[in-house]
């Protein structure tokens, strides 16, 4: 099958490689052309514009930064033209965006004669490389069944949640847990360290308890060494997702202040210069390093 991938960043690039290894012919586009060279060497066809890509493929996987980036791509594709180049094309939107943004995009694509599925994922670069992502799908039952084999190339666990908007909502709920769990762990680890307790003993107790989450071990070494470069999920992306969650929670009539406090913490992390680092860098805000010559608290 001829598949396009719009956005070849941390997740889009390994997803494109995975599609190629599954036997699909892949066309790619990225706003930063330098990121496309490894994919071109691997056999992907590089497109100069989003429109060139759309005109070459049957389905388009979208994995970009935010809803504004998705909308700009569709504008560049000429979604307002008649006949639209999106006619008879399927858009599989896998970025993390707001539910109402996804529903609006669905209307635009449908009115242009295309098909729209939202399919945000859980997992990071290793899971994307190995086709082990968890894929949450919002689409009609007919569209889900038609595109399930393609989605199975990217993820070994698929959930069809209902109409467009449902998967985007669940994705925000899951990413809120990413931020809140990591924040809670950072605070506990910071207190343990400040009290001079053994972190290994702390982790042994946590791992044997019902409180344990695997993400704690994934972030432990980064926090202990304060090495946050080479991220799987940058802090600036978590900030965007926490902002989306807070807005969605408030719209649903929920008390958003727990998530809002985490959002503020991640905002401080980004402001401190860690926007492009792993979101575990929020540990530096929760438990600041003593300045040279300053005794620990």
For 169-286, the fitting CATH number among 1.20.1270.360, 1.10.10.10, 1.10.1040.10, 3.30.2020.30 is 1.10.1040.10
**Helices 99-111 and 166-194: angle between axes, nearest 10 degrees:** 150
Query: Are 27 and 51 spatial neighbours (Cβ–Cβ below 8 Å)?
Result: no
> Is the Cβ–Cβ distance between 116 and 140 less than 8 Å?
no
Query: Strand, coil or helix: what is 61?
Result: strand
Q: Do the Cβ atoms of 137 and 118 come closer than 8 Å?
A: yes
Mind listing the pLDDT tens digit of every residue in the chain (297 residues)? 999 999 999 999 999 999 999 999 999 999 999 889 999 999 999 999 999 999 999 999 999 999 999 988 886 565 455 678 999 999 999 999 999 999 999 998 998 899 999 999 999 999 999 999 999 999 999 999 999 999 999 999 999 999 999 999 999 999 999 999 999 999 999 999 999 999 999 999 999 999 999 999 999 999 999 999 999 999 999 999 999 999 999 999 999 999 999 999 999 999 999 999 999 999 999 999 876 655 555
Could you give the maximum distance between any two Cα atoms of the chain, in Å? 69
* Residue 54: DSSP 8-state: H
Domain boundaries, the chain: 2-163, 169-286
C-alpha separations of 121 from 8, 69, 109 in Å: 15, 18, 21
pLDDT for res 79:
47
Between strands 155-162 and 45-46, the pairing is: unpaired
Fold of 2-163: Rossmann fold (3.40.50)
DSSP 294: P
Q: What is the DSSP letter of 272?
A: I
């Amino acid at each position: 099958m001829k598949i396009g991938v719009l956005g070849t960043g941390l997740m889009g690039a390994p997803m494109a490689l995975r599609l190629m290894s599954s036997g699909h012919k892949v066309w790619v586009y990225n706003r930063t052309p330098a990121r496309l060279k490894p994919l071109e060497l691997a056999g992907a066809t590089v497109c100069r514009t989003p429109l060139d890509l759309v005109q070459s493929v049957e389905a388009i996987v979208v994995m970009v930064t935010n809803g504004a980036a998705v909308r700009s791509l569709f504008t560049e594709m000429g979604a307002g033209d008649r006949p639209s180049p999106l006619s008879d094309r399927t858009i599989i939107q896998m970025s993390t965006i707001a539910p109402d943004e996804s529903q609006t995009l669905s209307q635009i694509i449908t009115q242009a004669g295309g098909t729209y599925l939202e399919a945000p994922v859980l997992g990071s670069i290793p899971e994307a490389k190995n086709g082990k992502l968890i894929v949450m799908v919002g689409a009609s039952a007919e569209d889900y069944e038609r595109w399930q084999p393609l989605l199975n190339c990217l993820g070994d666990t698929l959930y069809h949640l209902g109409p467009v908007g449902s998967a985007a909502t669940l994705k925000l709920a899951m990413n809120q847990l990413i931020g809140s769990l990591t924040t809670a762990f950072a605070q506990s680890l910071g207190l343990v360290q400040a009290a001079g307790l053994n972190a290994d003993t702390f982790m042994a107790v946590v791992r044997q308890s019902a409180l344990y989450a695997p993400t704690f071990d994934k972030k432990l070494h980064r926090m202990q060494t304060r090495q946050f470069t080479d991220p799987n999920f940058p802090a600036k992306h978590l900030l965007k997702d926490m902002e989306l969650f807070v807005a969605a929670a408030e719209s649903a009539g929920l008390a958003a202040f727990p998530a809002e406090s985490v959002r503020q913490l991640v905002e401080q992390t980004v402001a401190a210069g860690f926007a492009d680092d792993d979101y575990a860098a929020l540990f530096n805000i929760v438990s600041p390093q003593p300045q040279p010559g300053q005794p620990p608290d």
